[in-house]
């Protein structure tokens, strides 16, 4: 019984190209009480592997968080399988705004302590006592209210390339960091202000809304389905789009264009740009914003040092990496001092 992926990314990419069929990039989450996450994990892997589903899925006792690439031909079968699982029946699926057949190249289903790393002790509050969910139309009305504080619950590198007009965008590296900052900044307005939050697909706001209600905030709202669902509703209902720039996504695409504005800058030369890349030096892999001109000039690297390493024969690069842990720049997300125009 095969319970783990056996193909490399390159092998899977070749199979996708050979098949020549469209795939759908989909995400969903659900908070629920799962007794044995490992059993659910194995069940999902076996079923989805047969459907040629790819993606990154986290299963924990508190629920499931999934980002997937599903063959369009198998979507109905996939949906039927989801509906056969009691707590996932009719779960909302966020369909990507921009499709890419290679958004994911492996199926990874992992058991984690939590489906979002938040650093919270969930025993101290009820995670199901969430805030009010609002659709795009009501959200647009809410954020024009002078008594509303609009907060981006994502990390700095996400909001750097795109965010809603007039949103508070905490300069944080993790979701957990933003929780304390927002609570401190709004401590005097727990009763008189409307706290409206948004994130990519809704999962972070779901936990944050319950947390802030526990902390005494009286009027807590979250954007239903996050930026992805907002964009779908705006286009379907022809509403005013109040989002500027790109929506950062956690797959090979790295971003979906929501509006034509480019609000970020190349981290190397400073020109307008909102294209995230990873440094080509595998020992670095820093995530940063790089324009086409700098990509050509720097050979897709973040620094001269990385260029020199990347220019070495591959076996020599492997030899240099041997026995060393991953560079901590992997986790810096555009914070490296080698980047002249970082945020």
Identified catalytic residue from 199, 205, 291, 294: 199
Q: Which long-range contacts (CB under 8 A, 24 or more apart) does 241-246 make?
A: 242/140, 242/143, 242/164, 242/165, 243/162, 243/163, 243/164, 243/165, 244/162, 244/163, 244/164, 244/165, 245/161, 245/162, 245/163, 245/274, 246/161, 246/162, 246/274
Cβ neighbours around 121 below 10 Å, total: 7
Q: Which two tokens stand for residue 156?
A: 């700095």
Q: Which two tokens stand for residue 195?
A: 């706290």
Q: Which two tokens stand for residue 168?
A: 């508070």
The helix-helix angle for 75-83 and 37-50 (nearest 10°) equals: 160
Pairing of strands 194-198, 148-152: parallel
Annotated active-site residue 199? The verdict is yes
Q: Is the distance from CB of 82 to CB of 67 less than 8 angstroms?
A: no
**CA separation for the pair 333, 241 (Å, rounded):** 28
Check the CA dihedral 13-19-25-29 and report its sign.
Answer: negative
Question: Which of these, 2, 3, 122, lies nearest to 61 by C-alpha position?
Answer: 122
Q: Which two tokens stand for residue 298?
A: 């720097």
Question: Is residue 252 classed as helix, strand or coil in its secondary structure?
Answer: coil
User: Catalytic amino acids?
Assistant: 199
């Amino acid at each position: 019984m095969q319970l783990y992926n056996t193909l490399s990314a390159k092998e899977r990419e070749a199979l996708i190209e050979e098949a020549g069929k469209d795939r759908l990039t989909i995400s969903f989450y659900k908070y629920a009480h799962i007794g044995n996450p490992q059993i659910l994990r194995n069940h999902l892997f076996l079923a989805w592997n047969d459907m040629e589903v790819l993606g990154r899925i986290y299963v924990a006792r508190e629920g499931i968080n999934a980002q997937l690439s599903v063959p369009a031909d198998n979507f109905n079968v996939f949906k039927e399988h989801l509906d056969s699982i009691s707590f996932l029946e009719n779960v909302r699926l966020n369909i990507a705004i921009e499709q890419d057949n290679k958004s994911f190249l492996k199926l990874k289903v992992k058991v984690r302590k939590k489906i979002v790393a938040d650093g919270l002790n969930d025993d101290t509050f009820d995670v199901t006592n969430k805030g009010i969910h609002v659709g795009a139309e009501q959200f647009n009305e809410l954020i024009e209210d002078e008594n509303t504080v609009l907060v981006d619950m994502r990390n700095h590198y996400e909001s750097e390339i795109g965010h809603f007009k007039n949103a508070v965008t905490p300069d944080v590296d993790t979701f957990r960091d933003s929780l304390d900052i927002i609570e401190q900044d709004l401590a005097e307005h727990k009763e008189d202000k409307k706290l409206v939050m948004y994130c990519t697909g809704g999962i972070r706001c779901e936990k944050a809304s319950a947390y802030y209600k526990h902390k005494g905030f009286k009027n807590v709202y979250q954007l239903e389905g996050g930026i992805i669902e907002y964009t779908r509703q705006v286009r379907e209902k022809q509403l005013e789009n109040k989002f500027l720039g790109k929506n950062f996504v956690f797959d090979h695409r790295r971003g979906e264009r929501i509006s034509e504005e480019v609000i970020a800058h190349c981290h190397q030369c400073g020109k307008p740009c909102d294209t995230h890349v990873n440094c080509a030096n595998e020992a670095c892999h820093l995530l940063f914003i790089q324009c086409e001109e700098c990509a050509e000039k720097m050979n897709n690297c973040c620094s001269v040092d990385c260029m020199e390493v990347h220019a070495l024969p591959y076996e020599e690069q492997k030899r240099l990496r041997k026995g060393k842990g991953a560079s901590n720049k992997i986790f810096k997300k555009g914070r490296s001092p080698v980047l002249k125009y970082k945020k």
